[in-house]
Amino acid sequence: MQKKGRYGKYGGQYVSETLMSALIDLETAYGKIKKDREFVRELAAFQAEYAGRETPLTFCPNASDELGCRIYLKREDLVHGGSHKLNNTLGQALLAKRMGKKRLIAETGAGQHGVATAIVGAALGIPVEVYMGEVDTKRQALNVFRMELMGARVIPVTSGTRTLKDAINEALRDWVANVRETYYLIGSVVGPHPYPLMVRDFQSVIGKEARRQVMKKEGRLPDTIVACVGGGSNAMGIFYPFVKDDVELVGVEAGGEGIDTGKHSATLCAGEAGVLHGTLSYLLQDDDGQVLPTHSISAGLDYPGVGPEHSMLKDSGRVAYTAVNDPDVLDAFRFLSRKEGIIPALESAHAVAWVIKNADRFDRDDIVVINLSGRGDKDVAEVAAMQGRF
């Protein structure tokens, strides 16, 4: 039998002793609400009336023509807040409220999870504090302002590499010190059990809808589903309901400036098993087990770890993990904007880039679903600056 909180050999609960009671409480509380009809109804109502679900599965005629297959986008960019992140924060915040927690803390990279946490904090009346690497507060200044506008406090993190990894370190330190009143709302399928399970469950709404929608539109399952992978929550969300089907699943990591340059965040492509932030999973590390600095054009993928379930799916071969580099991502960002009038987040543009680069392998009738996990408005200023505008 599979051990609790394990995905093959991966997963587990590698945390300091102070947090164990909190994880045990969380596991119990989540186990209860999962089967609670009232909770399920409450979450569904928020999803429909507040978040804007279900999101469309949009057929892209122009991109399909250009690339020679049938391309659909699962439009998580249309979820309130601009990304799939709200699917998870709604679920966890409603849980936190039931647990009587008085304060939410979160980490954020691109700022999308921070924004999604600020949203639920405002909507449910729970104070929110968000840890964000100082580097990211600068490259995603607009999201910092959005969080503050909704009443959240953003705490810039100046330790270590000043990006997402260090924001998680600081959030964990805060949680240890304030564990009785505080709920740590993790934004991806990472961290100690039960987080990877819980976040996957809340994000699976993406795949469940997509499955229903593609069956209705095409009368069959897609040939290929593509999603970007940082921590891996949007990918887990769309993959999970298809794992047992005959559907090709592709996870696209951030190749940055190229895996051979060392400046990338392609954990599954280039890492090895290790323990960070409470979980055993693939990890970018040096010969001594020190965690390596990462690079990606998209702050949301700039993370040296990855969800433990992805590690298992890589080892079993069920999901193909690959990487695309920054220049291809920028091309994809422009391609989708121009062809379809949809500006993708730089994170999601990784998935688009993979399809563009691999267009040759598809036939006209092949159905390819890309999880468009977020919209690119947050990235527009940075891309403009790269082009020497503003």
Which of 69, 84, 193, 228 does the annotation list as catalytic? 84
**Backbone phi and psi for residue 212, each to the nearest 5 degrees, phi listed first:** -60, -45
Site string for another protein, 10-29 (x = CB under 8 A): --xxxxxxxxxxx-------
Which of 60, 69, 228, 269 does the annotation list as catalytic? 60
Contact 345, 382 (CB under 8 A): no
Q: How far is the CB of 117 from another protein (least distance, A)?
A: 20
Nearest-angstrom CA–CA distance, 275 and 282: 8
Chain mean position to CA 23: 21
Q: How far is the CB of 261 from another protein (least distance, A)?
A: 20
| Residue at token pair 């406090």 | 153
Cis amide bond preceding 272, omega within 30:
no
By CB under 8 A, which span of 102-110, 140-148, 261-269, 272-280 interacts with another protein?
Answer: 272-280
Contact 190, 281 (CB under 8 A): yes
Question: Which residues pair with residue 74 across a beta bridge?
Answer: 57, 371
Comparison of 17 and 49: residue with beta carbon closer to another protein: 17
Structure tokens at 166: 């260090």
By CB under 8 A, which span of 97-105, 287-295, 329-337, 379-387 interacts with another protein?
Answer: 287-295
Considering only residues 95, 128, 130, 283, which one is a binding residue for another protein as defined by CB under 8 A? 283
Considering only residues 57, 86, 185, 291, which one is a binding residue for another protein as defined by CB under 8 A? 291
The neighbour count for residue 231, using CB atoms within 10 Å, is 29
Considering only residues 276, 312, 324, 372, which one is a binding residue for another protein as defined by CB under 8 A? 276
Comparison of 36 and 272: residue with beta carbon closer to another protein: 272
Considering only residues 33, 273, 356, 380, which one is a binding residue for another protein as defined by CB under 8 A? 273
Q: How far is the CB of 147 from another protein (least distance, A)?
A: 23
Nearest-angstrom CA–CA distance, 31 and 49: 25
User: In the annotation, is 269 catalytic?
Assistant: no
Q: How far is the CB of 19 from another protein (least distance, A)?
A: 8
Site string for another protein, 213-252 (x = CB under 8 A): ----------------------------------------
User: In the annotation, is 60 catalytic?
Assistant: yes
* Nearest residue to 143 (alpha-carbon basis) of 32, 289, 300, 14: 300
Considering only residues 109, 114, 133, 274, which one is a binding residue for another protein as defined by CB under 8 A? 274
Nearest-angstrom CA–CA distance, 275 and 10: 9
Judged by CB under 8 A, the number of residues near another protein is: 37
Comparison of 108 and 169: residue with beta carbon closer to another protein: 169
Q: How far is the CB of 290 from another protein (least distance, A)?
A: 4
Q: How far is the CB of 286 from another protein (least distance, A)?
A: 9
Considering only residues 35, 37, 180, 220, which one is a binding residue for another protein as defined by CB under 8 A? 180
Q: How far is the CB of 132 from another protein (least distance, A)?
A: 17
- Kindly give the residue spans of alpha helices, DSSP state H, lying in the chain: 17-34, 37-46, 61-67, 85-98, 112-124, 134-139, 141-149, 164-177, 195-203, 205-218, 233-239, 267-270, 308-316, 326-340, 346-357, 377-386
**Backbone phi and psi for residue 59, each to the nearest 5 degrees, phi listed first:** -80, 135
Residues numbered 117 to 176 that lie near another protein (CB under 8 A) are 159-160, 165-166, 169, 172-173, 176
Nearest-angstrom CA–CA distance, 320 and 280: 20
Structure tokens at 378: 């947050």
DSSP state of 244: T
Helix (H) or strand (E) holding 5: none
Interface ranges with another protein (CB under 8 A): 12-22, 159-160, 165-166, 169, 172-173, 176-180, 272-278, 280, 283, 285, 288-291
Active site residues: 60, 84
